[in-house]
Amino acid sequence: MQDYYNYIKSLHLIFVITWFAGLFYIPRLFIYHIEASQKGSPEKEILTEQLKLMTKRLWYIITWPSAILATIFAIWLLVLMPVWLQQPWMHIKLGFVLLLVLYHLKNHQIFRQLQRDEVRYTSNFMRLWNEGATLILFAVVFLVILKNTFNWIFGVVGIIVLGVLLMLGIKLYKSIRRKNPNA
């Protein structure tokens, strides 16, 4: 089995990347769907039907299969390398993976609501929500690459600074958009 380790690791990384691609794009489609629901007829109906189809395809053809395959290959890697489960960095990584799964499941809930034309969130909330996957990605990548050499104080401060910068970027975009609605 050890001979297959790099193949399994490669497949795990490929499906993590495609999973994140779906998680980055789905909230953007939610934003468009929410904004389309505020338009008048017939634009509202045309846009929402198209966005429902796009989100359904993204969610069920790319995001869910990628999440499942990334998880299968991750478990396979842990079976091949059980010593990783004794490493403190792996415990923290698995905590972030749990957050990612919860984020994914919440996106699924929002997806199902929008498929039923139930708009429960604002587009501004979705813009903030969209950054959840980004924060988790940064945390996991730095954790996996730096492992035990990772300075936790700098890591926590870095994630907080990144979060603040993302929020400032969203506020800046919002003010630009208010001045120029076509931006």
Extract the tokens encoding 138: 């940064």
Residue 181 has pLDDT above 80, yes or no: no
Residue 165 has pLDDT above 80, yes or no: yes
Residues contacting residue 79 through CB under 8 Å, at least 6 positions apart: none
Binding site for heme, by residue number, is 12, 93
Residue 7 has pLDDT above 90, yes or no: yes
What pLDDT score does 139 carry?
85
138-160: pLDDT as tens digits: 888 888 888 766 566 677 677 77
What pLDDT score does 152 carry?
60
What pLDDT score does 150 carry?
57
Q: What is the distance, to the nearest Å, from the Cα of residue 165 to the centroid of all Cα atoms in its chain?
A: 18
Please count the residues of the chain: 183
Binding site, by residue number, is 12, 93
Residue 167 has pLDDT above 90, yes or no: no
